[in-house]
Chain A
Amino acid sequence: MGVKTSHYYWLVAPAALMVAIFFLYPLAFSLYSAVSAESGQFTLAHLEKIFELYSTDILFTLIIVLSSVVILAVLSISIAALITLSPFRSVVTLLGFLYRLPLFIPFIVTAQMMRTFLAKNGLMNNAFIASGLMTPMDTVSFLGWSGIIITFVWKQLAFTTLLISGAMAALDESQIRAARNLGASRVRILINIILPQVAPTIGVSLVLSTVTMMSVLSVPLMIGTGTPTMISADMAFRVNSYGDYSVANALGLVSYVLCAGLAWFYLRQSLEDKGVRS
């Protein structure tokens, strides 16, 4: 009472200032650098160059990220559903513990782990050979695109499952009970009652995972082999090898656009869900 609203702006100021200095300014600067020549004139040369050199890599990144997201969605929804609906509580407790593990392992450690696990003569294939399921001649290396997808899914699974199972747990249980009383199967309960209500959370978790995967450098560098590679590896290469920030920023622009597209799609969905119409 008696405090003017303008005072509240002061409360927001430190956070807003941090965002402006450490996020908005570098963002604006990198966008500017992506479309300007050294003399400061507007140019599309950098963008032309990335489409000439890296169009396959951009496509590759999209395919990798999208397929990871699809697998991620299927797996994390199944695990979350199991946790919410399974009658076997001990299994649920174990699962609840196991799925959280990757949450605490950094990407670079995951990548190093997968590098020894997925290699042609790595831990996984050696285990198959030792158990007699395979001969050394049949082994294939998963280092490459498949390895990148496996690593992304393994690492992000914990995060998405955590969010989705949290949302499922927060649902009003009386609805599930009511449906059960009317004879609905578990699968039906999942599809008709739970999923529609947690869809926004699934959206959030998948969009956030996409953005994370787009930004990870260690995984494509350590597990990817040669070409094509992901945009993040190309950006690092442009900077480290040529000292060429403009083309790296142009690549950054492409990944902003990809992420912004997703964010737009998601925001529109969630606003519509809330009944806001433009």
Chain B
Amino acid sequence: MFTKTKIAVIATIGLAQFSAVAQAETVLNVATAGSQNMVDYVKTYLAPKFEAMHPDVKIKVVGTGPGDAGSHKIFEKLSAQKDSNQENWDIDVAVVHQKVGGEMVNEGLLANYRNDISTGALVTRDSAKNALGTNVEGYVMPMFHSQTAIAYNSAFVKNPPKSYDELVTWTQKHPKAFGYNGIKNGMSGVSFVTGWIYAYGSDANTLSSQSYDSQKKNEWNQAFTDLKAFNQNVTFTPGNAGTLDMLNRGEIFMGPVWVDMFYSWKDQGKIPPTMKLALIGPGMPGQPMYYVTPSKAAHPQLAREFITLATSPEVQAEGIVKRFNWYPGIDADNVKSKLDKASWEKLFAEITPSDLAKYGKSFPIAEYFDDIKEGYERKVSN
């Protein structure tokens, strides 16, 4: 009996001490969706910077996984905490994808904070106000903008296609030399298919900014039939990284990739320097990642300060553009002055700002997006 009491006492003291240590510093919980490079960015670049400014704050970074699925996990966690009426939610800052960002605003999970922070005025682009049809003005700050494009090996492909039409002709002449990852193995393939529908189904503007019309998908039958025929001449790759892998090993010579991944791999020497990018017409989609803070974050003030730091022109220039090769989240003009000319030109060397403006499209609104994916499952891969 005495032993039991002793154990209980010791355990209590131990726990008390442990919690005393834990309370000594404030922990700011940052959850980030996306691939490992995003977790790395927050963990190795942003967090140390913020901790240096706030010595009593410790940042805990959690990566929730790539793709919309990673964002969905954050969404589900916050939604569960909301449903159980918790006072404080255990995520202070989250980095989420565009689609889920819109859903979170609709569910009332996020705080309207953009007017509270000094960098809020530095972003004017449309994707900071409209997330695939949802008005998110005030709730989000773009962390960076990522874009898909066609990567090709310039040692073998002298005249890369400039549009989907030219790409189709190219694949007919060079069967199996173009590769993409379908729609189930990563977003670069989904993006390619979305671009296909923009080209041969309905234009990007209709699908990404107008209200949903459930009849629209019936206009895409021919586009899907053509895509099925196109698929006969291509190689399927196992994922976003899989496409780059196969480009590197020379198994394919062209394929859709994420621009930031492409530049990072090129920097690390994982793909040959002869690899180049082309953004083809009428356009391929890209998307921003958003910084958001939940409406019941435990440390709302610190969360705002964290996002202010993360979206300041200096951090956007040094961290986002120079180190991680992403397009900046805040307006490019505000970043340009903080960057040396070489880094700036490197970012826009292959895809010029005018191409980006012309051919860089948004993803469609959620309903159309689901229609495109399901249409592909039904008519192309079935």
A221 to chain B, nearest CB (A): 6
- A215-244 to B contact mask, C-beta < 8 Å, 1/0: 000000111111111000110110111110
- Closest chain A residue to B76, Cβ basis: A243
Whether B251 sits at the interface, judged by CB under 8 Å, is yes
Among the listed stretches B41-49, B115-123, B177-185, which one makes contact with chain A, having 4 or more residues with CB under 8 Å of it? B177-185
- Closest chain B residue to A225, Cβ basis: B236
Whether B358 sits at the interface, judged by CB under 8 Å, is no
User: A residues within 8 A CB of B378?
Assistant: 52-53
Assess the B184–A234 pair: CB atoms within 8 A: yes
Q: List 28 A-B contacts (CB under 8 A).
A: A52-B382, A53-B377, A53-B378, A53-B382, A56-B382, A115-B238, A115-B242, A115-B245, A119-B245, A119-B249, A120-B246, A121-B250, A122-B249, A224-B238, A225-B181, A225-B182, A225-B237, A226-B181, A226-B185, A227-B182, A227-B236, A234-B184, A237-B183, A237-B184, A240-B72, A242-B370, A242-B373, A243-B72
Assess the A222–B239 pair: CB atoms within 8 A: yes
- Closest chain A residue to B181, Cβ basis: A226
- Closest chain A residue to B252, Cβ basis: A120
B184 to chain A, nearest CB (A): 5
Q: How many residues of B contact A (CB 8 A)?
A: 28
Contact of A222 among B67, B182, B190, B238 (CB under 8 A): B238
User: A residues within 8 A CB of B236?
Assistant: 144, 225-227
Whether B69 sits at the interface, judged by CB under 8 Å, is yes
Which of B's residues lie within 8 Å of A, judged by CB? Answer: 67-69, 72, 181-185, 190, 235-239, 242, 245-246, 249-251, 370, 373-374, 377-378, 381-382
Q: Measured between alpha carbons, how far is A56 from B380 in the docked complex, in Å?
A: 13
- A52-86 to B contact mask, C-beta < 8 Å, 1/0: 11001000000000000000000000000000000
| Pair count A-B, CB < 8 A | 75
Assess the B238–A225 pair: CB atoms within 8 A: yes
Among A53, A141, A226, A227, the most chain B Cβ lie within 10 Å of the Cβ of A226
User: A residues within 8 A CB of B184?
Assistant: 221, 226-227, 229, 233-234, 237, 241
Whether A143 sits at the interface, judged by CB under 8 Å, is yes
Q: Measured between alpha carbons, how far is A25 from B16 in the docked complex, in Å?
A: 35
Assess the A240–B67 pair: CB atoms within 8 A: yes
Q: Measured between alpha carbons, how far is A243 from B72 in the docked complex, in Å?
A: 8
A197 to chain B, nearest CB (A): 43
Assess the B250–A143 pair: CB atoms within 8 A: no
User: B residues within 8 A CB of A233?
Assistant: 184
Q: Measured between alpha carbons, how far is A268 from B239 in the docked complex, in Å?
A: 42
User: B residues within 8 A CB of A120?
Assistant: 246, 249, 251
User: A residues within 8 A CB of B242?
Assistant: 115, 222, 225
Contact of A240 among B69, B251, B374 (CB under 8 A): B69
- Rank and list the top 9 A-B pairs by shortest CB-CB distance, nearest first: A226-B236, A240-B69, A226-B182, A225-B236, A227-B381, A121-B249, A120-B251, A237-B184, A53-B377
User: A residues within 8 A CB of B374?
Assistant: 53, 242
A139 to chain B, nearest CB (A): 9
User: A residues within 8 A CB of B373?
Assistant: 241-242
Q: Measured between alpha carbons, how far is A122 from B242 in the docked complex, in Å?
A: 13
- Closest chain A residue to B381, Cβ basis: A227
Q: Measured between alpha carbons, how far is A233 from B251 in the docked complex, in Å?
A: 24
Q: Measured between alpha carbons, how far is A120 from B246 in the docked complex, in Å?
A: 9
- A239-258 to B contact mask, C-beta < 8 Å, 1/0: 11111000000000000000
User: A residues within 8 A CB of B235?
Assistant: 225
Q: Measured between alpha carbons, how far is A273 from B41 in the docked complex, in Å?
A: 60
Q: Measured between alpha carbons, how far is A89 from B237 in the docked complex, in Å?
A: 45
B287 to chain A, nearest CB (A): 14
A178 to chain B, nearest CB (A): 53
User: B residues within 8 A CB of A221?
Assistant: 184-185, 238-239
Assess the B246–A119 pair: CB atoms within 8 A: yes
A143 to chain B, nearest CB (A): 6
- Closest chain B residue to A111, Cβ basis: B238
A162 to chain B, nearest CB (A): 30
- Closest chain B residue to A115, Cβ basis: B238
Besides A221-B239, A233-B184, 7 other A-B contacts (C-beta < 8 A) = A120-B251, A221-B238, A222-B242, A225-B242, A226-B185, A226-B381, A242-B374
Among B183, B184, B382, the most chain A Cβ lie within 10 Å of the Cβ of B184
Among A144, A221, A228, the most chain B Cβ lie within 10 Å of the Cβ of A221
Q: Measured between alpha carbons, how far is A187 from B337 in the docked complex, in Å?
A: 80
